[in-house]
């Protein structure tokens, strides 16, 4: 290449980089460093097209499976709602080939031509599906939150390691350059000594009271409930009157599909939903992604509606880490006296890192700092901490399926991140300050005996661990 051509290509690159920087909000120096260290992706071999199966065919599961489809062939789908499974099969057909439809994931796991499981079920089913997948030799892309309780995470980490499987948790913010940049700035001392973190989460709903409504014919409600305690299928009833006086009833379920996450028996509300994402980034920035806090003090700040959703909607949780860093987890309508971004009485959705020399705030689509130079000044190439780089979360998973290396959000990181949320939920429900040993994963000190009972959830038979034996 002659000098003139090189200069033209260089100008084009700089112009393109500037455009990408403006569009993404990530400084140009960070993009250029990424480009310089980027490795060429491993090419797919002629037989390197894994068979993919989707378990849990709701909107998020189908979205994940659509991303996975770029790297393999969807050959099976499974859902306890027959209508969801049938619809997914049509969505993922290839030509005349339609994925096989299952309503019991255990049958699907018997197939040797299924290499990858995409788990998109409600939260309380993640662990049993993922455990059986790794035990039958499949790699897993699992939606977050990874587990329903801390004990499930400990079991899953052990099973993934023993069976030498790859498991990527769907905490896709780790594959977003803005979040990695924020964590690298913090980890490399750009804001001085990290002192405090604020995790702002959306406020949960307080709907209800609800009433029993008919179960759709396509839905196996008992299977959907799984390990959760028996409960009625509930929702809202809308009555419409025709001009002739006849009435028709329309039913809107409030206990299944999208709304499962507001029920404690299935999930933990926004604390484990959005909290699974933002706590993961807080842990990454603090360098504690394989550990956790040592003190937790949570409070619910409003009463839930009797007969309605049961996961806390408004809350404030204060935590402390062994390195002295403190953290506040709060819903966006509560506010926090240490908030430095936006309205002091309303906490923005995202993660704020406060240090001795400034602050950085990051959320989806935006990164801000107390001074422009905190973002604009490049970190040195030989900086002490360079975090795991992924720019395609699903692509990173399939790269690791081939290489057998750990993905950017492996099973232990996912377990530790959601454990932070579980600890918050436990403290809020107990209304007690608690001490936690992240090495033994047990509560210690006052209230430990009572708190340790919350590490495990009682599983309704037959949907306990014997269900996948």
Q: Are residues 238 and 330 in the same domain?
A: no
In a domain, 402, yes or no: no
What's the number of domains the chain is made of? 4
Q: Enumerate residues 6+ apart whose C-beta is below 8 A from 453.
A: none
Which residues does residue 363 pair with via DSSP β-bridges, in sequence order? 366
In a domain, 45, yes or no: no
The per-residue pLDDT for range 38-49, each reduced to its tens digit, is: 554 454 454 579
Print the domain residue range for 118: 51-171
Q: Are residues 188 and 167 in the same domain?
A: no
In a domain, 374, yes or no: yes
Q: Are residues 245 and 273 in the same domain?
A: no
Q: Are residues 284 and 358 in the same domain?
A: yes
Which position has the higher pLDDT, 18 or 141?
A: 141
**pTM, full prediction:** 0.91
Q: Are residues 190 and 287 in the same domain?
A: yes
Q: What are phi and psi of 170, to 5 degrees?
A: -75, 45
Q: CATH no. for residue 61?
A: 3.40.50.720
Q: Are residues 272 and 283 in the same domain?
A: yes
In a domain, 410, yes or no: no
Q: Are residues 245 and 387 in the same domain?
A: no
Q: Checking DSSP bridges between strand 100-102 and strand 234-241, what pairing results, if any? A: unpaired
CA-closest candidate to residue 325, choices 195, 236, 147: 195
Q: Are residues 110 and 150 in the same domain?
A: yes
Q: Are residues 132 and 89 in the same domain?
A: yes
Lowest mean pLDDT among 85-99, 133-147, 288-302, 328-342: 328-342
The per-residue pLDDT for range 200-257, each reduced to its tens digit, is: 999 999 999 999 999 999 999 999 999 999 999 999 999 988 888 888 999 999 999 9
Do 88 and 54 touch, CB atoms closer than 8 A?
yes
Confidence at 32, pLDDT banded by 50, 70, 90: confident
């Amino acid at each position: 290449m002659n000098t003139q051509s090189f200069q033209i290509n260089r100008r084009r690159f700089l112009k393109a980089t500037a455009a990408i920087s403006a569009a993404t909000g990530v400084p140009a120096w960070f993009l250029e460093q990424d480009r310089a260290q980027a490795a060429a992706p491993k090419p797919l071999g002629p037989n390197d097209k894994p068979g993919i199966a989707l378990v849990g065919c709701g909107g998020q599961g189908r979205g994940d499976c659509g991303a996975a489809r770029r790297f393999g062939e969807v050959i099976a789908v499974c859902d306890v709602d027959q209508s969801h499974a049938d619809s997914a099969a049509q969505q993922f057909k290839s030509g005349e080939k339609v994925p096989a439809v299952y309503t019991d994931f255990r049958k699907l796991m018997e197939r040797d031509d299924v290499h990858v499981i995409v788990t998109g079920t409600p939260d309380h089913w993640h662990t049993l599906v993922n455990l059986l997948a790794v035990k039958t030799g499949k790699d897993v892309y699992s939606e977050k939150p990874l587990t329903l309780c801390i004990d499930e995470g400990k079991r899953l980490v052990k099973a993934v390691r023993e069976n030498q499987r790859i498991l990527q948790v769907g905490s896709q913010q780790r594959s977003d350059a803005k979040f990695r940049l924020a964590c690298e700035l913090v980890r490399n001392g750009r804001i001085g000594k990290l002192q405090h973190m604020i995790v702002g989460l959306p406020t949960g709903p307080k709907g209800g009271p609800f009433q029993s409504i008919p179960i759709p014919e396509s839905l196996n409600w008992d299977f959907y409930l799984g390990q959760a305690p028996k409960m009625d299928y509930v929702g809202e009833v809308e009555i419409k009157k025709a001009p002739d006086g006849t009435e028709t009833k329309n039913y809107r379920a409030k206990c299944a599909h999208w709304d499962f996450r507001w029920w404690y028996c299935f999930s933990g509300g926004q604390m484990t939903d959005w909290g699974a994402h933002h706590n993961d980034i807080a842990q990454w920035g603090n360098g504690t992604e394989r550990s956790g806090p040592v003190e937790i003090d949570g409070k619910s700040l409003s009463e839930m509606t009797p007969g309605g959703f049961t996961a806390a909607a408004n809350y404030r949780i204060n935590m402390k880490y062994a390195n002295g860093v403190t953290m506040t987890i709060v819903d966006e309508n509560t506010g926090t006296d240490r908030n430095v971004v936006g309205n002091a009485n309303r906490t923005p959705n995202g993660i704020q890192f406060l240090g001795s020399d400034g602050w950085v705030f990051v959320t989806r689509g935006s990164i801000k700092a107390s001074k422009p130079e905190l973002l604009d000044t490049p970190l040195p190439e030989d900086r002490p901490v360079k975090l795991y780089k992924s720019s395609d979360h699903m692509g990173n998973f399939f790269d690791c399926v081939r290489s057998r290396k750990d993905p950017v959000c492996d099973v232990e990181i996912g377990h530790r991140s959601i454990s932070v949320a579980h600890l918050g939920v436990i403290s809020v429900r107990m209304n007690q300050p608690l001490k936690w040993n992240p090495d033994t994963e047990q509560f210690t000190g006052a209230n430990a005996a009572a708190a340790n009972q919350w590490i495990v959830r009682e599983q309704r038979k037959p949907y306990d661990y014997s269900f996948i034996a």
